[in-house]
Amino acid sequence: MRVLFVTSEAYPLAKSGGLADVSRALPVAMRQSGIDVRLVLPGYNQAVTRLTNPKIEARVPVCLGEDGAVIVSGQLPDCDVPVWLVHAPRLYARPGGLYQDRQSRDWNDNPRRFSYFGRVAAAIGAGQLLPWKADIVHANDWHAGLVPFYLAMSGRYRPSTLFTIHNIAFQGNFDREHLAQTGVPDSFFHPEGVEFYGQFSFLKAALRYSDRITTVSPRYRQEVLTQAFGCGFEGLLSHRQKDFSGILNGIENDVWNPHTDRLLPRNFSVRDISGKKACKADLQKRLGLAVCRDVPLLGFSSRLTHQKMADVLVEAIPDILAEGTQLAIIGDGDAMLTGALKRLQLRYPGQLAYFHYDEELAHRLQAGADILLAPARFEPCGLTQLYALRYGTVPVVRKTGGLADTVTDAADTDETRGAGTGFIFDEATKPAFLAAIKRALLTFREPIAWRRLQLAGMSQDFGWEVSARKYIALYRTLSGLTGPEDVGYDAAEIDEPWQCEIRSAQGWA
């Protein structure tokens, strides 16, 4: 089976969060199961530089008015996953972030950047650009949201499409005037098409036109069917419920493994956890914290955003430190919060450390901390709590999405629920968060109970094998599908004149 995995990030070519980790680890696991999966990404500068064995594979014909783009082929570093980069320097090769400039403002040509990316990805999937054609095109998050649309419109013998929601809060909504640059005819700007509350929405296009939809944990799947979590898409998703499933993310065992992790000063494992002490001392030293074995060291490694309750965390810092703890925070995000952290750091020298996100530091923090704080107002899956469990760092999480699916509260250690692995709180408030931290600290002071918690977490298997099998099973049910009637169209509709209009406008008539 041939699968084209369309994503705007993949570690280590481009990363802003968990999507990058999943876009590497899942294809790696699928290839181990014999699936011919290949990645397509925008050709950001850093991606072109980091690609293994880069080579110009094909020129892209003029498409959506864009000329001079090429497809660069290669592999993800340190694994055998083939990658195609859509190298259109005017769109992707620029200083700044993947989606934003250096001042954290969204690039104003994002609709253009990601419609072009989606159009080229769809053409690769359909076998129009390279001597390879996908059976399944698996598109991820709004950046790839137009791919199912382009393919649904491309004719009867198209690949089937699967769309994965990694975070429904990111929707790619733009003013109607941008539609013209995307090749989506204006006649689709209506509630049954790509219109979403007066705007044109990449995510709406994905949820409307893909054959199947998944999201990254079973609980988040249930949550987004409700008004509280669906961000306006609960109605459409409820309508498509039978095509919509939740498959839990995994972690890449070779990258996040305390036994072999080359970024750590000392390795350790569930059989011999003693090396974790050296990791803690090293982390304290590196971050300028007092080097002390008995002080509980709490860590937070995440985007500093409203989703992650980073505002509540910052507000809770004096209370957390008053418990005689140390706190190490790494992450970027909201400028108000990063400013507040820098000021607080001066008030609590040796006790509070704040650093920008850095991949090596993220590994060292997971290894050296005693407790990982992973609060969130919503969390589709969350990977940091999984890394923490693997590294013997006990997570404190909010009962939402994938956090609730992957952590068992230490108080729930009866036979039905198995051993506890962390501490869970319900309300997204400071008192609830602090109460869970205090429960964790009480247990931390009981070495035997603490060790039991650590080992229970470390013994869990969050590798990709089980979930990769679920995706493969889903691909198999999809590979027999044919035309757009599978997403509820009248077959006659596909021969309408607008379809030819789209194809010729896009240069592949």
Could you list the residues that contact ligand GLC (CB under 6 A)? 17-19, 22, 166-167, 216, 249, 379-383, 402
User: How many H helices and E strands in the chain?
Assistant: 19, 18
Sign of CA dihedral 109, 112, 115, 118: negative
Q: Residue 7 is which amino acid? A: T
DSSP, res 251: B
Q: Are 269 and 259 in contact (CB under 8 A)?
A: yes
Q: How far is CA 288 from CA 276, 284, 337, 457, in A?
A: 18, 6, 20, 28
Which candidate, 133, 110, 121, places its Cα nearest to that of 5?
121
Q: Is 223 in the site for ligand ADP (CB under 6 A)?
A: no
Q: How far is the CB of 69 from ligand ADP (least distance, A)?
A: 27
Place of tokens 């998703």: 237
Binds 286: which of ligand GLC, ligand ADP, none (CB < 5-8 Å by kind): none
Q: Is 15 in the site for ligand ADP (CB under 6 A)?
A: yes
d(C-alpha 11, C-alpha 47), whole Å: 9
Q: Show the CA angle centred on residue 282, arms to residues 19 and 327, nearest 5°.
A: 65
Partner from ligand GLC, ligand ADP, none contacting 384, C-beta within 5 to 8 A by type: ligand ADP
Binding region for ligand ADP (CB under 6 A) out of 15-23, 168-176, 259-267, 444-452: 15-23
The residue sitting closest to ligand ADP, measured at its beta carbon, is 18
Selection from 322, 272, 330 nearest residue 300 by Cα: 330
Q: In the bound complex, what is the minimum distance in angstroms from residue 55's beta carbon to ligand ADP?
A: 28
Check if the beta carbon of residue 147 is closer than 8 Å to that of residue 137. Answer: yes
Residue 171 interacts, among ligand ADP, ligand GLC, none and using kind-specific CB cut-offs from 5 to 8 Å, with none
d(CA 171, CA 299): 30
How near is the Cβ of 88 to ligand GLC at its closest, in Å? 25
- In the complex, what is the shortest distance from the CB of residue 161 to ligand ADP, in angstroms, rounded to a whole number? 23
CB of 16 to ligand ADP, least distance (A): 5
Q: From the list ligand GLC, ligand ADP, none, which binds 216 (C-beta under 5 to 8 Å, kind-based)?
A: ligand GLC
Three-class DSSP category at 265: coil
Q: How far is the CB of 385 from ligand ADP (least distance, A)?
A: 7
**Six-digit token string for 80:** 């055998």
Binding mask 307-346 for ligand ADP (x = CB under 6 A): ------------------------xx--------------
12 scored as a contact of ligand ADP (CB under 6 A): no
Select 17 or 230, whichever has its Cβ closest to ligand ADP: 17
Q: Which of residues 346-375 bind ligand ADP (CB under 6 A)?
A: 357, 362
Nearer to ligand GLC, 22 or 41 (CB): 22
Say if CB 172 and CB 184 are below 8 A apart. Answer: no
Q: Which of 118, 368, 382, 457 binds ligand ADP (CB under 6 A)?
A: 382
Paired tokens of 442: 């009480």
For binding to ligand ADP (CB under 6 A), which residues are involved?
A: 15-18, 21, 301-303, 331-332, 357, 362, 381-384
